Amino acid sequence: MEEEELPLEERIYTVPLGKVKYTPRKKRAPKAIKILREFIHRHMKIEPEKILIDPDVNHKIWERGIEKPPNKLRIRAVKDKDEFEEEFVEIFLAEG
């Protein structure tokens, strides 16, 4: 029997997306995604290409359209390794 591997690291963050207000209205949701990636890159010390965003997080950012993303987003970031021993981070919505 194989044991279930636990993630290397799991953290819960509240990501401030307030800077999005200062970008053009039709570019705010894509900018929020970029801010989220930069935040995770800075706090989890991993390259932005190795950050996987769950579709629920994407839906939460885009839920009110391109012009009105949320001001804050509570997420759960899980750092893990793939079969090639390369680290990556998955981002999920935090419960509660």
Q: Where do the domains of the chain lie?
A: 9-93
Q: Which residue has the tokens 């804050």?
A: 72
- Quote the crossing angle between the two packed helices 55-62 and 28-44, to the nearest 10°: 140
Report yes or no: 22 and 71 within 8 Å, Cβ to Cβ: no
Give the pTM.
0.89
Which residues of the chain fall below pLDDT 50? 1
pLDDT at 6: 74
Give CATH for domain 9-93.
3.10.440.10
Backbone angles phi and psi of 76, in degrees to 5: -120, 120
Written as six digits, the tokens of 29 are 């949701």
